[in-house]
Amino acid sequence: MVEIKELLNVLYDFIPDNKKEYNVDEDTDIMTDLEMDSIDIMQFIGELEFMYSVSFVELDDFYKKFRTLRGIRESIIILKEGVE
């Protein structure tokens, strides 16, 4: 099972220092609200792909889902089940 708390722990490593105090929840827009740069985002994606043995490029709409932890969690579940 993919837990939001687990995703948040990974995300926290990539959040800019000036946003570490931001109250992040499953619906926080990680690109806009947390102002993550493209390098941080790519590293975050890579870490999640490694952790969960998935490849997000297999999803047509991953960019839309990637904006929140809820969407990322749903994407991982879809990929782990092999259903899109």
- Tell me if the domain spanning 4-81 has CATH number 3.10.440.10: no
83 pLDDT more than 60 = no
Across 40-67, b (16+ Cβ under 10 Å) vs e yields beeebbeebeeebebebeebeebeebbb
Which pLDDT value is given to residue 5? 92
Stretch 30-57: mean pLDDT, rounded?
92
Question: What are the extents of the domains in the chain?
Answer: 4-81
Band of pLDDT at residue 21, cut at 50, 70 and 90: confident
Summarised one tens digit per residue, pLDDT across range 45-78 is 999 999 999 999 999 888 888 899 999 999 999 9
